[in-house]
Structure 1
Amino acid sequence: MCRYRRSISATTDPSGPSPAARPRGPGARRLVGSAGIGVVVSGLLVNVYLAVVARALTPAEYATFGAFWALALVLGFGPFLPLEQELARRLSLRESRRQVLLAGAATAAGLGVLALVVLLAASPVVASSLDRDPWAFGALVALCVVSAGQFLLRGVLIGTDRLVRHGAVMVLDALLRLGLAVVLLVVGGRQASLYCWALVAAIAAAHLPLLPAAWRRAEREVTVVAPDPARHGTRALAGTATPLLVGSVCAQLLLNGLPVVVVALADGSAQAAAGVFVAAFTLAKAPLSMVVPLQSAVVPTLTRLLAAGRRRQVLRLLGKGAAALAGLAVVGVPLAWWLGPPIVTLVFGGEYRIAGAQLAVIVAGVLAHVGLVVVTQVHVARDRHVDVAASWLAGLVVAAVMFWLVPGVVVAGEVAFGVGSAVGAVVSAVLLLRTHTAADGIVTEGTAT
């Protein structure tokens, strides 16, 4: 007798699914040529916008705006990015789209209420980080409402393969932010709260007017009825998005929560240093302003690849990405140490000075964070949302421990971000390899004569 193995993939059909059976959708070239370009352009514009704001404000005022910016990302991407990702995945299946849209709208409203509750519960810490400016706090309240429509639109555009439109909306958003900031600079706006409200207005103007047309177009497209009527209901969508919500909130706390904590804990003498840290950190994480918005756009493509049984191709792509990130770290970290401080001073002004070693730590953390973002999107496409939550939670917990152990609030924030991101990336990669091996390995074992 001899033992035999049977893989979970169809060994009876070595060629895999036929071309006709594979889901059709945009290829990688179209993805890079549309959403990718839009995200890159908008990311560059956003960094110009942040430099304009820094030029308009003193370091102490910029610390307040930087805290608002970080909180805006936490309250925006944190609760609502899972909605965008899950809408992108479900709408790309072309099943019961009207039901998916209605469930998405209901979930967006619920997430908006949740964001407001969290904001009010954390108001003592938030108010402290915003220098107790009631107008800046009011802008955060408005942002919770606007973000619901913003991410609902983005999920609809991505899920219906409107990647060119998605990129154009992001560029429009960035242009409006920059234009309003320039106007405030010219008229002499020197209060951080003015720029906070201008940011909320730009997001609303770029996204909300386009939502009705995108909704109607998604409804008109031919779709099939889901085999299970409850498959795309509000409860099902919210249920699958819950682990993503945990992961997304942890991700935003790791990326954008640390600057808020640094500003909140910095005393009077360290307030200016905290503002310099926020400015330098914002500049160093510029690549993430391009990678983070793009992550949902790759979910439909990854979903189609995995549905076609091309798991090994996805792993090969991840391997190439890891090698590219390692190469960037070898080159980028020493350059950040050497050239980073004068670049920060050039961009933000002579009052913004930071040590090269601190910038090197931040850049290394940014590259690790990029790797964590990329790997977790494979988990999303594989419908393993719990692994997404576990990866980000591990990174956040390690970051909290490092922040507590390292002396000096600014240095602690830098080290915590880098180490937490690196540990999260390692945990996510291990989970991916473990579950991939389980999927492609031995699933049944028997005997044959």
Structure 2
Amino acid sequence: MGDQTPGRVGARRLVGAAGLGVLVSGLIVNVYLAVVARALPPAEYATFGSFWALALVVGFGAFLPLEQELARRLPLPGDRQALLRAASGAAAVLAGIALVVLVGALPIIWRSLDGDVSVLLALGALCVVSAGQFLVRGTLIGTDRLVRHAAVMVLDAVLRLGFAVGVFIVGGADAAAFCWALVAAIVLAHLPQLPAAWRRAVAWERPLSPGARADRPSVRGLTRAAMPLLVGSVCAQLLLNGLPVLVVAEAGEANEAAAGVFVAAFTLAKAPLSMVVPLQSAVVPTLTRLIAADRRREVVVLLVKGVALLGAVAAIGVPLAFFVGPWVVSLVFGADYTIGGLDLAIILCGVLAHIGLVVVTQVHVARGRHRDVALSWTAGLLTAGVTFWLVPGVILSGEVAFGVGSAVGAVVSALILAASRRRPAEERNEA
């Protein structure tokens, strides 16, 4: 099954290629996390869990806007060589921002990483490596090379698992070895793909129609366009992965093992997100084409079907999480990891609300309404912060804050979308 010329890939190809790749890689990553948990005691796994969450915040969160902008702009006619050069410069700028944020938040990060210098250095290396990682992913998605994108994701997951098993076999007993193994897996899976992806993107460039004009892409322009998405992306990752870090940091030595159990259970419960979140950029080109063709009703139908599916999953999954979830957590991570069914049910409700928020915000991305994305995620994060402060008990507050923040963000995003759909209709009626 080979790649096709950009613009000829339909919805079935999207689901069949990107969806399958995300599914397989998500399953492998969860096996990888289970291997790490088996290799480390709960207290040490709390350190790795904090690194994992922070890696998603400063890696995925900082560079997802670059991937989304490339996914949106590359299908359009224009100078792809200039766009990719601008994207490379923007990736360097985003890496610098991530490192600055890392230094600024060092007091909290230092506590959550248990003062491990090696783990902190691995986190800094990840900020640099992620620039190339998401440049590759955005280029593949934007040129509809979804088969290659899926293969890279699976390769990345396989390397993570293979390196973790190797560390486990040689007797790695601290979190730092697994952290550096993760950085190495990302490098080997992505960076060798960049030259070929770049050449293919330029070779399949779509020239502008006669008389059409387009602004030449620049580092400053691309970075400025990505800033609202950066705000939304960082807020999204803080909502999803910042709360576990905050729980570990606030738990203290007396509750360090309990915090490690929470991180493991939270990681397992949010497994569906490891399959949905990486797929979000892959749907942007399809949504962009539907909206550009004024097929907005089809977008609305897709959203309604998504809400119905989430409701059905909640009706089945929440009771299962309550009654069966604790046994699954102990089975996957070991007998030292025990958690209540109510805790898992609360976390799962938050996961489903978070999926709804992810889906709705991609419509804003496809419409070019990046500020609406930032507003949606900011509302969710602020709500989560207030909830975390109000709810007693550091573990319970983390669980409830995640669910409430995700739900409020999804509602705000849906209301913004509904208002923006009514506005053009009102303007036409007035005309």
The equivalent of 1:29 in structure 2 is: 12
Among 48, 52, 56, the residue aligned to 2:31: 48
Match runs of 1:14-93 below 5 Å: 24-93=7-76
* Displacement after TM superposition at 1:228 (Å): 4.1
The equivalent of 2:402 in structure 1 is: 417
* Displacement after TM superposition at 1:25 (Å): 3.6
Structure 1: gaps spanning 5 or more residues: 1-22
Counterpart CA distance in 2 for 1:324 and 1:318 is 10
Among 414, 419, 422, the residue aligned to 1:429: 414
Among 240, 244, 249, the residue aligned to 1:259: 244
The equivalent of 1:268 in structure 2 is: 253
* Displacement after TM superposition at 1:187 (Å): 1.0
Counterpart CA distance in 2 for 1:247 and 1:270 is 32
Bigger Cα displacement from structure 2, 113-122 vs 230-239: 230-239
8 Å CA contact retained: 2:77, 2:206 = yes
8 Å CA contact retained: 2:111, 2:249 = yes
Asked if 1:297 is matched to 2:282, the reply is: yes
Question: Partner amino acid for 1:265?
Answer: E
8 Å CA contact retained: 1:25, 1:301 = no
The equivalent of 2:372 in structure 1 is: 387
Residue by residue over 1:156-189, the C-alpha shift from the partner in whole angstroms, topping out at 9 and shown as x without a partner, is 0000110000000000000000000001111111
8 Å CA contact retained: 1:365, 1:418 = yes
Question: Partner amino acid for 1:87?
Answer: L
Among 325, 345, 354, the residue aligned to 2:310: 325
* Displacement after TM superposition at 1:225 (Å): 4.0
The equivalent of 1:20 in structure 2 is: none
What RMSD in Å do the two structures reach over aligned CA positions?
Answer: 1.2
Match runs of 1:140-159 below 5 Å: 140-159=123-142
8 Å CA contact retained: 1:395, 1:421 = yes
Asked if 1:208 is matched to 2:191, the reply is: yes
8 Å CA contact retained: 2:79, 2:205 = no
* Displacement after TM superposition at 1:231 (Å): 4.9
Counterpart CA distance in 2 for 1:393 and 1:25 is 36
Question: Partner amino acid for 1:316?
Answer: V
Among 108, 127, 139, the residue aligned to 2:122: 139
The equivalent of 1:199 in structure 2 is: 182
The equivalent of 1:96 in structure 2 is: 79
Question: Partner amino acid for 1:217?
Answer: R
The equivalent of 1:185 in structure 2 is: 168
8 Å CA contact retained: 1:344, 1:352 = yes
8 Å CA contact retained: 2:63, 2:94 = yes
Larger radius of gyration: 1
Bigger Cα displacement from structure 2, 274-283 vs 431-440: 431-440
Counterpart CA distance in 2 for 1:284 and 1:113 is 33
* Displacement after TM superposition at 1:442 (Å): 3.7
8 Å CA contact retained: 2:380, 2:405 = yes
Counterpart CA distance in 2 for 1:371 and 1:204 is 31
Q: What TM-score results when the alignment is normalised by the length of structure 2? A: 0.97
Structure 2: gaps spanning 5 or more residues: 1-5
The equivalent of 1:11 in structure 2 is: none
Greater relative contact order structure (CA < 8 Å, 6+ sep) = 1
Among 261, 268, 272, the residue aligned to 1:287: 272
Counterpart CA distance in 2 for 1:302 and 1:25 is 14
The equivalent of 1:316 in structure 2 is: 301
* Displacement after TM superposition at 1:444 (Å): 4.8
Number of matched pairs: 424
Counterpart CA distance in 2 for 1:265 and 1:110 is 32
* Displacement after TM superposition at 1:222 (Å): 3.3
**SS of 1:438's equivalent?**
helix
Report percent identity of matched pairs.
Answer: 67
Counterpart CA distance in 2 for 1:130 and 1:430 is 39
Q: What TM-score results when the alignment is normalised by the length of structure 1? A: 0.93
* Displacement after TM superposition at 1:126 (Å): 0.7
* Displacement after TM superposition at 1:445 (Å): 2.7
* Displacement after TM superposition at 1:229 (Å): 4.8
8 Å CA contact retained: 2:78, 2:205 = no
Counterpart CA distance in 2 for 1:154 and 1:95 is 20
Question: Partner amino acid for 2:202?
Answer: E
Match runs of 1:366-405 below 5 Å: 366-405=351-390
* Displacement after TM superposition at 1:390 (Å): 0.5
Question: Partner amino acid for 1:312?
Answer: R
8 Å CA contact retained: 1:230, 1:236 = no
**SS of 2:368's equivalent?**
coil
Counterpart CA distance in 2 for 1:281 and 1:246 is 24
Counterpart CA distance in 1 for 2:213 and 2:228 is 22
